[in-house]
Amino acid sequence: MFDHHCTACDQRQLIFPSRVTGLTNTDHGIVLAFTCWCGAAQTLLTGRRAAHPPRTTLAA
């Protein structure tokens, strides 16, 4: 659970795990997608920023 200021309804809302619609790991951090209680789709950038690009492992 976390609080978020919604850009659509201009309210501060508590967001529960049931409101989360997706997680995407990016070079900038983790993008958390969720739906506000007003119904608006929202995102939040969280987590540590990646220090370097991910390594690729090749199988022989």
Which of 47, 45, 53 has its CA nearest to residue 27? Answer: 53
In terms of pLDDT, which residue wins out, 57 or 13?
13
Average pLDDT of every residue of the chain: 85
- What average pLDDT does the segment 43-57 reach? 69
Per-residue confidence band for 55, with pLDDT thresholds at 50, 70 and 90: low
Q: What is the pTM of this model?
A: 0.74
Give domain limits for the chain.
Answer: 2-46
**According to the model, what pLDDT value does residue 50 have?**
52
Four-residue CA torsion sign, 28, 31, 8, 6: negative
